[in-house]
Structures are given as C-alpha cells and as structure tokens.
Structure 1
Amino acid sequence: MTLTKLDHRFGNEQLSYDAKPNYQPYVKLTFFFSKGSNISDEQFHRHWETVHADLTVASKDFRVNDLRRYVQFHQTQESKEKVKSMGMDLMDVDGCSEIWVKDWDSWERFLNSPEYAKALGPDCKNFMGSTIKVMAGMDNLIYGKAVPSEGGSDGIQFH
C-alpha cells in the first residue's frame, strides 16, 4: 500500500506536506522497563530515583560524552489504574527513562565506558526486570518552545 497525499487544508502551514520537519539537534533514546519481581513498587521507584540516578550522573563518562539530558518517567500503580479506568490501552511497564545525546558516537562511548560496565549495568539487576525495550530517534518539535541550551527551533506557538 502506498500512502498518497490527502486533500487536506492545513491549519498550520508549518505542518504542510512541503514543510520541513522541525527535528531537534540531539538523538533521544527512550528505555521502557518493569520492576524486578523480587521488590515492591516503592522499592523500585525509590532505588531508581536515588541510587541509579546518582550512579548515572556521577559517572565521569556521562559528563564528558555530550550526554545532554536524563529524565525518569515513573508510572505508579495509581497512574496505571487511572489509565485503565479511562478505557485506554495501558503500556504495562513501571518506568521509562529518556537520555538525550549529541550524537550516536557520544552514546556509544558512554555505553561502552568502564563506569557503565562496572556500576550502571550491574545496578539495573538490583531493581529492573530482565527485559528493557528501547526506542531511539529524533524529536520533531510540533508545538512549544525548544530547550534553549540545545539550539533547536521552536515549534508552533499560539499567543
């Protein structure tokens, strides 16, 4: 099947078929995972937001390899129940982390660093289940302000 251009009247020319996407100048890796079966929800979230976060940002290779941003997204039991009650299809994970890097080389240097091998990789076994799923790519900022320190372009702004 080939997708053809629809006869659509664009409300925002920045999104028209002929417009260029607004990719931001970094690579984003998003990791989806669940807690280990041997720990409680509270232990999972607390370890991840403290010990694992500290191991990550304390790593020398994190600071020198053009890693730009590290964000944790905690999906609590309360959040899961709310999504289910709204009839939405829940992604059954407990957490998601997001790391922005300057480029793929920066990420590979961090991933292959001695500190990662010694501390971060092994720590995952303390609180995560065995399967980690990854999405990687670039943000196409549609609406909102770009992160000033990253040098990207703002998306659509309504005043």
Structure 2
Amino acid sequence: MAERLNPGDLAPAFALKNSDGVEASLGDFHGRNTIVYFYPAASTPGCSKQACDFRDSLASLQQAGYDVVGISPDPVEKLAKFAAAEGLTFPLLSDPDHTVAGAYGAWGEKKNYGKTYEGLIRSTVVVDPEGKVVLAQYNVRATGHVAKLRRDLTVDA
C-alpha cells in the first residue's frame, strides 16, 4: 500500500487522459488551488452523488480559488458517458493502472463484507498553487463529503 500524503508534501505529478481523450496534468493547474478527488467507479450511486455534489458546488469553489479534478480507474469512454449523463463540467481523468492513485495513497487494501481486496480508496487531496498538499482526506464518504470539505476549506455557499 502506498504511503498517504500529508500537508506540506509535494503532490505527485501526473499526466492522464481526460474524458475527451486529451492528456491533462497536475501542471495544468499550477498557480491554482486544486481539489484532486479519487472515486472508485463512474456511474455508481455513491460516485454519482459525490460527483454531482462537486458539480453543484463548483461555482462557489471556483470563486474561492479552487479547481476540481476527479480521478478513477475507469476508461476514457466510460468517463465521457458519466460526464454527459451527470452534466459534469470539471475534468474527469482515467487512471486505469492505478499509478496516480497509488502515488497519492488512494489505492490499497480495502474490506467489504468481510473480504479483503485491493481497490481504490475514496480520497481527496487539496493541492496549493505551488504543488504542495494542503489537505489529505482518506476513506471519505460519498454523501456529505463535499459539504464537509467546503467547511474544512471555509468556502461559503
């Protein structure tokens, strides 16, 4: 299991394909605060709820100086369908081999119904304009997470 990030750590650089098949990188957000969130699977109830919460909060987050990027192991085609179905206007990135999730500590051992397996750990990392971690939250809940994150970042509605 990859080590989890802590405030002050340098956020691992990445370059992944977005839902349009175009490469996007952490460097694209240099100079901005960036919320990088990891979710297990597009178009599932929990992940849809979380993505829609980010969508509904996007204007106030951006007004407060935060960009949002979602990363999952899903293929580009599935991300495109998810974005279209839910009206998502922030980038969704495909990490099929879990390299970026691993670097961010968002891939590892999980337990579900008594079984242990490797999988994506729902996580959120906030990166400052210089690329340093400001906040790292792991094992977050899909429902209510964006509201809690807004409180933690003191972002008004």
Category of TM-score, reference length = shorter chain: under 0.3
**Structure label with greater radius of gyration:** 1
Bigger fraction of residues in strand? 2
Bigger fraction of residues in helix? 1
- Which structure has the higher relative contact order (CA within 8 Å, separation 6+)? 1
